[in-house]
Structure 1
């Protein structure tokens, strides 16, 4: 019961409210029902920018962002940051 009250107080506090809707955040590519794995694919093996972002953000595969600018697999993602 104590945990439930604590969680509700946390959610209800406007200080913790996100000013942007979730769809406008960096996680927007992951809001669709897609399943990716952390299998260490190369950029040439990936099928979409969302998969490349998943590898970088979720799996921590920093090799997909060689120049460390937040854009993985630039041949797929162009200038789209994750």
Structure 2
């Protein structure tokens, strides 16, 4: 299955509004940014939910849960 890369920013520290930006691969059929990412990056396991951003600066994700529903990397 083909994939494409998108820029995402993980909101890792809500008190200091700290973001860590990374490029991740998503399936070619996913439009814009996925609403939910599960285990999107080795440093950011768990379930992450889209909360803002854009394609230029990076889609912003906040952690929803420390443990994802799956051990696989999933973009929904």
Task: Give the TM-score category using the shorter length.
Answer: under 0.3
Give TM-score scaled by structure 2 length: 0.24
Higher RCO, 1 vs 2 (CA within 8 Å, ≥6 residues apart): 2
* Larger strand fraction of residues: 2
Structure number with bigger Rg:
1
